């Protein structure tokens, strides 16, 4: 039960805002506090986020579709509240957005690709079922880089998602619609997927936290795939506690025969409640490796803010009693590792063909990756010839002789990483998610990112906001900078504890300027439809031209 002081404080906030629920920067616990003290209803919570999406989505173009059943789900929560019927799930009435590569039965799952515009899974992903069972309200689907194949977050269904902090920049990606939505308080948290960088780049570029879990912690069934070796899924949120709560629910599925990587989890790990031990951590005495090879030390307006933000956080960590251990091995070179060991070019076609051929996939859709790319011009945006790994994937497979050598190289890299941890007695490693600020709209790629190390080794990473570039005309709050905190497999609980302590060292996150405004809450009869602006695709992307 909330304390009297908590209630009084909340009442003060309520009268100051003139609203009984303020969705801006709302957390799971602040939402539950308002609901369980009778200050608001679930319908009002959901309506307040819908109102923000309707009023503000054009600033960022983050949303692809809204769930027509969201208000009915809210009413069901209110009925449960009124009858005080049973216990409320960890995500009871928590507005949640899904990256549009998560299968849902009530909405198409497009991957942002026009060829999948009408693709209708009849079965939802097990992780979506787990979220709903815990009470989450699925608000709708967020834009992504088409089929999650790049980090710019532009797609033929959704157009270009714009960074909420800087109108000239991309929001990172590929889960860029998820990141932009949460930065703008379009819901309490969102989900993403990560094949190389895709949960971490949008967290970094939108001043958010995310968790890329250990491969095998969460079943990937029902997520549009790219790579059996590298794909994982996880949450993006505005606080460590919300990431921990969402991760607890998402990983509660446990072993899933449909994704045999889930058999890798040690007994009991998948039932962990990542929230219980958050406050018990301490940074004092920890040893954290700093990956020197993951920086660009050439000074420029794009790199200096990143290097300064990293210098700021390492100084604070030292003050908190952490020993920072410089790691200088030449092995840790993200571009070299990525060029040698990325598996997408071998695994993509097989994974995608299997996804497209499931009998449960209804609606009009291609049956194979080859057919997807053979559809008439205008249906896709990531042109295979634009990316060597996509065009190679159309001819190559896991039976390619090089694939075995790549897998051997990954085993070697994984062992080398563990050896670095052991030799230096490390608790974790840190480095910037991206060596430079998130790139401008119209760039050819989201260059400078460091996600490949965790992607290949299957290790967990919590992404943490650590600073901002100086403000500018297009970025009134500055451009966010994020850090990766990487640990050994299955150490999510420890990483989240550390992230919680780092978060407590002082608030870094800022709200984007346009998202600071109060939006009047509408009384909805039905969920509105939000049309993504698919016309704002930069010239660098000539849709469908081969």
Ligand X SMILES: *[C@@H]1O[C@H](CO)[C@@H](O)[C@H](O)[C@H]1NC(C)=O
- Looking at residues 435 to 454 of the shown chain, list those that interact with ligand X (rule: CB under 6 A): 436, 448
DSSP β-ladder status, 480-486 and 428-432: antiparallel
- Helices 240-250 and 126-133 meet at what angle, rounded to 10? 120
DSSP β-ladder status, 361-362 and 461-468: unpaired
- Choose the binding region for ligand X from 106-114, 193-201, 275-283, 389-397 (rule: CB under 6 A): 389-397
* Among 18, 38, 86, 326, contact with ligand X (rule: CB under 6 A): 86
Structural contact between residues 434 and 448, judged by C-beta atoms closer than 8 angstroms: yes
Q: How far apart are CA 399 and CA 368, in angstroms?
A: 18
String of DSSP letters for 450-519 = -THHHHHHT--EEEEEEEEPPP-SS-TT--EEEEEEE-STT-HHHHHHHHHHHHTT-------GGGGS--
Half-sphere exposure of 40 (CA within 13 A, CB side): 26
Pick the closer one to ligand X by CB: 110 or 338.
338
Binding of ligand X by 471 (CB under 6 A): no
Rounded to a whole number of angstroms, the minimum distance from the CB of residue 326 to ligand X is 14
* Among 339, 505, 518, 546, contact with ligand X (rule: CB under 6 A): 339
- Choose the binding region for ligand X from 39-47, 203-211, 213-221, 327-335 (rule: CB under 6 A): 327-335
Alpha carbon distances (Å) from 510 to 170, 459, 463, 472, 499: 18, 29, 16, 15, 17
- Looking at residues 210 to 229 of the shown chain, list those that interact with ligand X (rule: CB under 6 A): 228
Rounded to a whole number of angstroms, the minimum distance from the CB of residue 302 to ligand X is 4
Structural contact between residues 82 and 183, judged by C-beta atoms closer than 8 angstroms: no
Binding of ligand X by 536 (CB under 6 A): no
Pick the closer one to ligand X by CB: 37 or 400.
400
Please report which residue ranges of 342-446 form alpha helices under DSSP H: 344-356, 369-374, 388-395, 401-423
Pick the closer one to ligand X by CB: 347 or 497.
347
Binding of ligand X by 85 (CB under 6 A): yes
* Among 27, 400, 407, 424, contact with ligand X (rule: CB under 6 A): 400
- Looking at residues 265 to 294 of the shown chain, list those that interact with ligand X (rule: CB under 6 A): 293
* Among 15, 402, 425, 516, contact with ligand X (rule: CB under 6 A): 402
Pick the closer one to ligand X by CB: 13 or 395.
395
3 state DSSP class of 307:
helix
Residues binding ligand X (CB under 6 A): 58-59, 80, 83, 85-86, 228, 260, 293, 296, 298, 300, 302-303, 305, 308-309, 312, 330-331, 333, 335-336, 339, 345, 392, 395-396, 400, 402, 408-409, 412, 416, 436, 448, 467-468, 481
């Amino acid at each position: 039960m909330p304390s009297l002081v908590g209630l009084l404080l909340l009442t003060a906030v309520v009268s100051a805002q003139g609203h009984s629920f303020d969705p801006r920067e709302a957390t799971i616990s602040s939402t539950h506090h308002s609901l369980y003290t009778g200050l608001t209803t679930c319908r009002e919570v959901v309506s307040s986020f819908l109102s923000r999406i309707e009023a503000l989505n054009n600033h960022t173009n983050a949303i692809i579709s809204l769930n027509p059943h969201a208000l009915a789900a809210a009413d069901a929560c209110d009925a449960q509240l009124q009858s005080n019927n049973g216990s409320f799930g960890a995500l009871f009435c928590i507005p949640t957005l899904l990256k549009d590569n998560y299968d849902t039965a009530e909405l198409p799952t497009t991957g942002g690709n026009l060829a999948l515009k009408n693709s209708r899974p009849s079965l939802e992903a097990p992780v979506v079922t787990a979220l709903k069972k815990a009470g989450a309200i699925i608000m709708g689907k967020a834009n992504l880089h088409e089929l999650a194949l790049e980090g710019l977050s532009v797609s033929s269904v959704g157009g270009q998602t714009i960074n909420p902090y800087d109108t000239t920049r991309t929001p990172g990606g590929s889960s860029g619609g998820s990141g932009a939505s949460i930065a703008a308080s379009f819901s309490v948290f969102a989900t993403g997927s990560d094949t190389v960088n895709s949960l971490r780049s949008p967290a970094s570029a939108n001043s958010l936290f995310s968790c890329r879990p250990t491969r095998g912690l969460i079943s990937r069934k029902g997520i549009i795939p790219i790579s059996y070796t590298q794909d994982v899924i996880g949450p993006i949120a505005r606080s460590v506690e919300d990431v921990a709560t969402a991760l607890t629910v998402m990983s509660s599925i446990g072993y899933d025969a449909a994704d045999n990587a889930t058999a890798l989890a040690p007994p009991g790990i998948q039932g962990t409640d990542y929230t219980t031990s958050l406050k018990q951590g301490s940074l004092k005495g920890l040893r954290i490796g700093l990956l020197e090879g993951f920086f660009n030390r050439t000074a420029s307006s794009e790199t200096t803010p990143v290097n300064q933000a990293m210098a700021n956080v390492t100084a604070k960590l030292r003050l908190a009693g952490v020993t920072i251990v410089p790691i200088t091995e030449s092995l840790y070179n993200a571009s070299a590792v990525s060029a040698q060991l990325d598996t997408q070019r071998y695994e993509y076609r097989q994974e995608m063909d299997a996804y497209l051929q499931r009998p449960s996939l209804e609606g009009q859709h291609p049956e194979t990756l080859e057919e997807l790319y053979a559809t008439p011009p205008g249906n896709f945006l990531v042109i295979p010839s634009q990316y060597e790994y996509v065009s190679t994937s159309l001819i190559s497979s896991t039976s390619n002789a090089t694939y075995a050598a790549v897998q051997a190289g990954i085993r070697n890299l994984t062992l080398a990483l563990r050896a670095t941890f052991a030799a230096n007695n490390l608790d974790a490693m840190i480095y910037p998610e991206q060596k430079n600020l998130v790139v401008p709209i119209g760039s050819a790629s989201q260059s400078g990112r460091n996600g490949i190390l965790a992607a290949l080794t299957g290790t967990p990473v919590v992404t943490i906001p650590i600073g901002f570039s100086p403000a500018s005309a297009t970025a009134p709050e500055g451009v966010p900078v994020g850090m990766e905190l990487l640990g050994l497999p299955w150490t999510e609980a420890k990483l989240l504890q550390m992230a919680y302590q780092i978060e407590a060292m002082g608030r870094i996150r800022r709200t984007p300027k346009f998202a600071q405004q109060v939006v009047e809450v509408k009384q909805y009869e039905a969920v509105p439809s939000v049309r993504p602006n698919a016309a704002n695709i930069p010239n660098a992307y000539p849709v469908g031209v081969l």
